[in-house]
Amino acid sequence: MMKSNYHTHTERCLHATGTDEEYVLSAIKGGYQVLGFSDHTPWKYHTDYVADMRMLPDELPGYVESLRALRDKYAGQIDIKIGLECEYFPEYIHWLKEQIKEFRLDYILFGNHFYHTDEKFPYFGHHTDNRDMLDLYEESAIEGMESGLFCCLAHPDLFMRSYPQFDRHCALISRHICRTAARLHIPLEYNIGYVAYNEAHGLSTYPTPEFWKIAANEGCTAIIGLDAHDNRDLEDPTYYNRAVQEVKALKINVTDTLPMNRY
C-alpha cells in the first residue's frame, strides 16, 4: 500500500501548527507519496457570524496559491493535492461550488461537523450526547453524501467524541451511514487524529471499533487519515502503522487513493 494522507490542516484554521512548507517537508520525511491539504473551508455567511475554527473567505486564494507553489517546488518528491474539508451546509453550498470551480480544487473531504450551519447548531464532536443530536448527525451525513460533492466521509464516527456509549441507537445510525457510503462508493476515513490524545487521557472516542465492525459488515471502503494539525504528526509512524494493522484485522476494503475532481 502506498503511504498517503489526504487530511492535513494549516495554521489558517487557528488550531493547527506548522507552516505549509513544514507539512510538506515532514510528509517527505515520513515517507508519504501523496499529501493532500484539506484545511477547514471558509463559508460566506449571510449573517455577521465569524467562526473560530476556519479561514475567512478572503484567505482562500492565498491558501491555494501557497500550496500550488509547494506542489511545483517539491514535484518529483511528493504528490501534493489541494482540497478542503467541508461541512454540508445546504444554504451555502452554491457558493462553495463556485469556489471549487474557480480554484480548481482537487477534492473535497466531508467533515460532518455541524447540522446545516454553525451559525445555529453546535459542534457534533462536543454535543452529540443525546438521541436528537445523533439523529441530526445521521441526517446531515446522509444528505451530504447524497449531494455528490464529497469524495470521502471524514471521521464518520465523530459522534463518539461526545456520546457516552456505543448503544443500539449508535448502531442504527452507523448502519444507515455505512449503507449509504457503500451504495454511493464513498470511502470512510479511518481517522487517527485523536489517537494520541485518547491514549494520553485514557479515552476511547474514535476510531470506534463497534462502528468499524458495522462498516466492514456493510462492505464499506476505508482510507487512513491523519487529520494532521501539527506537521510533526506526519513524521511519527506509530499511529499510522497501528492503523494499518487495525484495518487489516477488520477485514475491511482499504484504499490509499481518493478520486480527484476533473476539469
Binding residues for Zn ion, rule: CB under 5 A, are 85, 111, 227
Q: Are 43 and 92 in contact (CB under 8 A)?
A: yes
> Smallest distance from the beta carbon of 17 to Zn ion, in angstroms?
14
What distance in Å separates the CA atoms of residue 169 and residue 165, rounded to the nearest whole number? 10
CB-based contacts of 65: which residues, under 8 Å, 6+ apart? none
Q: Which is nearer to Zn ion, 16 or 247 (CB)?
A: 16
Q: Are 220 and 250 in contact (CB under 8 A)?
A: no
Q: Which is nearer to Zn ion, 20 or 227 (CB)?
A: 227
Q: Which is nearer to Zn ion, 64 or 158 (CB)?
A: 158
What distance in Å separates the CA atoms of residue 122 and residue 173, rounded to the nearest whole number? 19
Strands 152-153 and 253-254: unpaired
- State the greatest distance between any 2 C-alpha atoms of the chain, in Å, as a whole number: 50
> Smallest distance from the beta carbon of 111 to Zn ion, in angstroms?
3
Residue 110, classed as helix, strand or coil, is strand
> Smallest distance from the beta carbon of 246 to Zn ion, in angstroms?
20
Which grid cell is 47? 449573517
Q: Which is nearer to Zn ion, 205 or 251 (CB)?
A: 205
What distance in Å separates the CA atoms of residue 249 and residue 216, rounded to the nearest whole number? 10
Q: Which is nearer to Zn ion, 7 or 71 (CB)?
A: 7
